[in-house]
Every structure is written in C-alpha cells, then in structure tokens.
Structure 1
Amino acid sequence: MGVEQHELPVRTEPEKPKKSHVWQYLLVGLVGALIGGLLVVTVMPQVIVNKIASLEIAAPVSGNSTGNNDSSPVLTLTSSLSGDPWQVVVDAAEKVSPSVVCIVNTQTAYDFFGREYLRETSGSGFIITEDGYIVTNNHVVSGTSRKLTVFLSDGSSKEAEIVGTDPATDLAVIKIEGSGLPTAVFGDSDSLKPGQLAIAIGNPLGIEFNRSVTVGVISGLDRVLSVGDSYMRLIQTDAVINPGNSGGPLVNAKGEVVGVNSVKLNVTAVEGMGFAIPSNQVKRIAEELIDTGKVKRAYLGISFMDKSEVRYYMPNVQIDQGVYVVEVVSGGPADKAGIRKGDIIVEFDGRKINDAGSLMAYLAEKSPGAKVSIKLIRQNKTREVEVVLGEAPSS
C-alpha cells in the first residue's frame, strides 16, 4: 500500500527587519551642511572681496559714440578691499584721535540744605590749533564752573580757560597752553551725502572710556531741531553718541571733521538717532569766538508765525506753506527789500521754508552783510526779493 506523502509546512523563524539607515543619512547630511557652512563663512567672503577688488564697471559712452561700436570706457575699482575692509576707519581714527580731548568741568553745586559742594561733569572736544584752541559744546563748559581740566591723548592734563561761548548754537571755544599740539582738520559739511561713512570719537561716560570710536553712516541732512537757545540745521547719524560724546568730532572717511556731536534723541522707541552740528557752521563760529569772543548774528527785521499758528489764530488766512510775516521792522533789512506784512515766505536763499524753525535755522547760518534771495507769496503771486542782512541787536 502506498503511503501518500504530504509536505509538512516548515515554520521558519521570521526575518529580523533590517535596521533603518535614516539616521545615517541624517548624520551625513548634517556633517555636509556643517562643512558647507564653514566654507561659505570662511572662504566665500574672501572670494567676493577679491572679485569686487578687481571688478570692472562699464560706463556708457557720452558724446561721440558712433555706429555699432559697443566699446565703453571701463572703470576699474582698485580699492584695498582685498585687505581689512575696516582699515579706512582705523586710518581715520588714528588721524583724528590724538586731537580729541576729555574736558572735566568742576562746578559749584548746593545740596538740599544749601551746603556748597563741588561736582564734576565731563564731555569731549578737539584741538583745532597747535597752540591749544579747542572746540566743544557750550553745555560741556557752562554752569558755575570753578575749573576746566583738559586731558590730552598723551596722558597729560592742563587747565583751560573759556575763550567764548555761543548758547544759540551750543558751541564754545576753550584754550590750553601749549605748542605743537596735534590738531584736527575741518572738512566740507555741505558736500556730505546720506550713506557716507560717519565716525564718532569721544569720551562716553568720562575719561575711563576715552577716545571711543563708533561707526555708522550719514543718515540724513538738513534736520532742523532746537539746539541751545535756537534752531539749527543738523547732520543725522546712526554712529553711537552717548553721554560724554558731546563736543567730540564726527569724522568722514578722509579723517576730516564734518560735525560736532551734540544731540541724541533719548526716546524709548527710537534707536540710532544722533545729531551733529555741521562743520562749516562750527568753523565760522569758532573763528569769530577766537577773534572777538562773541558771535555776530544776522538780522532780517521781521516777526513771523508758523503756518500751524496762523491756522489757529488767523483762520481766515489761507496758508499751505512757509511762514506768515506778522510785522516788518521799519527801516530794517526786510523793509528795505520790500517785504510787507502779510507776505508768506516760502524760500530763503534757495532753501524751502516749511516752518518757523527752518527760517530761524537758515538765518542763523548767515553773517551780517550777507545777501540772500527770499521767495514769497503776496496776494497769490510769487515774488523774489534780495535782502542784505543786518546785524542783530545785542541782547
């Protein structure tokens, strides 16, 4: 008898699942990313810098271009970008820093019980002549000063005397004894453009942090703000200006002083808004203070209202721009030029007048005897007159 054979099912041990290689892939990816990142950070900047350093920029041909000739003059950038891109700041700081001083003002003060004591405040300044004339802010040297002490870059200190002050522009000139002192050179503030390099040098919080250098750009020009006893046209910068920087120089890439650091907006919601007095104004005022001990003010001979005041006090007067002439001094410069009560001044020597502060600021930049053109509106017609400015009466 045959026996029917059946294949018995063979129970085999289930296969172990193969280990996933996902983590291996992730690890390789992370290592690759890390290496790539290091290459970008360390190698690419130098590659880019080298490329820029040899970059050729094609400029369009003006004038006698003919036919299909596409040849254009090529401007090659030969800057020192292949080196330290901050070297220009280093060079400017090294040029100006020796002339920057720390000024300590020892003043008389009184406590709650009327007892006298001495307190010290400090600020910055910079030497403009080899025999020791120093420019600073008026508020650095003002008050019941007992003594002014100037700390020089070589570590020495000297007592200073006040040559002259100008509260209207918050400028002052003081003098120390000396010869062959390091000096700063003024640049042309009228040639500044937004975006240009700006370097602030000074003594924030006092001599402990003397000759600190901060860097930014020229953020804006013609910012009219109230400074001292008047209005001024200022340079705006985001170079950090801290307490103690007042009176220090704002410097351009050439190591020239283009402004005197004076004001910082101290508002919680605002950062990086510092202001400097333009060097062209500083130079003129400093020269007058050295020569005569005072500053002569230009005089127009009118009283005027801002357009916002006119709308409030004179609602029947239509004014959308400029300032409204309320009164003209008989026989004064404006009167002689033909300016009349009720005129609306919209331009002063080529600059638009937006408000009373603007007119005051632009007038403050002029000297007695200067000729200026004034554009005004009278009975809806635009006129232009020339005024020879007088000298303001002494207050």
Structure 2
Amino acid sequence: MTAASAPSAVLLHTPLNALHLELGARMVPFAGYSMPVQYPAGLMAEHLHTRASAGLFDVSHMGQLRLVGADAAAAFESLMPVDVIGLGLHKQRYGLLLNDEGGILDDLMFVNRGEDLFVIVNGACKAADIAHLQARIGQRCEVIPMPEQALLALQGPQAVTALARLAPGVAQLVFMTGGHFELAGARCYVTRSGYTGEDGFEISVPATQAEALARALLAQPEVQPIGLGARNSLRLEAGLCLYGNDLDTGTTPVEAGLTWAIQKARRAGGEREGGFPGAARVLAQLADLSGAAGVLTRRRVGLVALERVPVREHTELQTEAGERIGEVCSGLLGPSVNQPVAMAYVRADQAALGTRLQAIVRGKAVPMQVAAMPFIPNRYYRG
C-alpha cells in the first residue's frame, strides 16, 4: 500500500466499488483509485474490531502479476537482495525491488506456485514496476500482469474461523504459505499473510466473482468491512512500512531496518553474494550496522511519545539539546496501544533503544523515546 495518489486524474474503481457505497463507505482518492477510507463505524472501531475479531479489506488497487519461465526465479533474484531461487513450493516471501543505487523502487510479496512466481506489488507503483521488470528481465521470463484478478485481505484472530467455513483447508496453512482453494464458487489463490500484524489471509479472486466472495465473507458473524484508515493504523502499530512514507527510491533496505529480508545466501560470504542492483552500497551498510564506520548514516526507528500528543509524518526531530537529527515518516495515536507512536529516520548515532529525542509539533517540543517495534506483539500463525 502506498500513500501516493493523483486526485486530479480520473479515478479507477475496484470491483467492490458498488459494495463499498452500499455499505456507506467514505471514499477517497488513493493510488489512482477511489477507495474506502472508513465505514460508518469509524476508524477506531474498525481498528479495534480487526484486532479482536476479523476485518475484510479491499486491496484490489494493488498489482498482481505472474513471472513465468524456467529462468524466472534467477531473473527475479537479480533485481532484489532476496533469496528467490531457494524458495519452496507455495512458500511466500517479502521482497524489495532496488534501483542501481540500492534505493527501494517498491516492496512486494511473492509466492513460488510451481508453474509461476505470483507477485503482489503496491498500487501506485505497479505500472512502473511492470515496466521495470519488462525492461530488466523481460528477455528471461514472461511478465504477465493480472488485471482480471481482485485482491481481498481478511485479517484478525477470527479470520481463520470465518474463512474455514467457506474452505476448511485454509486452516492448514501457516504464515507465509499459500494454496489454491474454492471460495463461494470462485477459484482463488490464498496466502496466510497480511499487513496488520494479525493472523489472516490475502485472497486473489477473479474480479467478476469478487463481490460474491466479499458478501459471503461479510455474512460471517466475525467479519466487518474495514477501510484504509484502519489499515494504516494497524500496519503502523505492527511496525510495517508504507511505501511513499517510510520507503522510497532514496532509502536502502539497511537504512529502512529491513535487513531481516536479506537472506544469508545474498549477504557477504553467502553462496549467491551480491549480484543485485546497488549491492556494493547495501552490503557495505550491512557491514556497518552500528554506524561506526560512517557508511550507514541514518536508520529507521520506532518512537513513542512521552506526552499524549500525536506526532505526524514530516515532523522534525531534534536531540534534547536542539540539534536536528531526523524526521518522522509515519505517526499517529495507536488505537490498540493507546499512546502516540511513530516511525522515523534518525542519525545512526541516535538510533539506540531508549534514546530520548524531541519532536517539534507546532513550535512545541514533544519528548519522545526510541522504542522497539512492533509496538504491539505480532500474532502470525506459525503452526
């Protein structure tokens, strides 16, 4: 999901547009689409319902595509600091498309389905991503966009209860695995994943059958519709990045704190070390995680406000002595943690847990402290 949007352009509609309007959604421009930001219950109620039960999200604005061919895994791996070749059948992984300076073009999810690599990219980036893939690896594999597919996310501790009524087999999936299932008469591909920090599923469904599936899910007693507003607050509490806010083409995976997404095989000394765009810079930063060598100059951190003042993106951060050392990239009052939380990029020597900083909000210094993420424990189902 990305914050980028073009309100001046003609907005596209997802296959669930009529259903959103029927449910009383407030629609806003997002990534070139008209999307529901909230329903009549409101953002706070939707957020808390997802944490307690199950929420249904329309994420059909995101891009879905297939990479097909015997060389697809090796080709895709050449664009990312991620192990694609070693990914098992129906296993899912988080990936990062990098530019030649090691900056992040997009973050994405992909699954090895055997017959293809199934890739999900951010809505506002999808046209550029597809062009990038065609240009860089289009000679090595087929890059096939899937505009005929919609995408639904069912998230929360009761998501498995609700979805298993339609297809009992989904309960056998564990976090970051997928499979083919029939749901409400539609042939779907389901992964046990999502972007809320909760257990849940993402469902690729033919666009023509998406509304019927959404209605079948909303008919389950646990499930309520959830808009983009709560999706944003849920992902921030879970410490998850939003492309366009927390990630961009000028930020490397190491600066972004996404080193966990760089598997051992692609690191220094690994069997397929480097070989991705910007590898020299990224591997040098990996070797300097402390920032002592001056190669890694800034890092993404979690922050909690020590006063009850929400601190929004682009807010300046200073040391307690008044020296500017960074900027907030995402921030709000976390509904579940009931305190202001934020993510920010700060100078590497100010990134240690417990470091006291101050945010300048309307000319007033708000005390903040570097804190561990996620702000609320993740509840992914690992079996």
TM category (shorter chain) comes to under 0.3
Higher relative contact order (CA 8 A, sep 6+): 2
Q: What's the TM-score once normalised by structure 2's chain length?
A: 0.23
Please tell me whether Structure 1 or Structure 2 has the larger radius of gyration of its CA atoms.
1
Q: What's the TM-score once normalised by structure 1's chain length?
A: 0.23
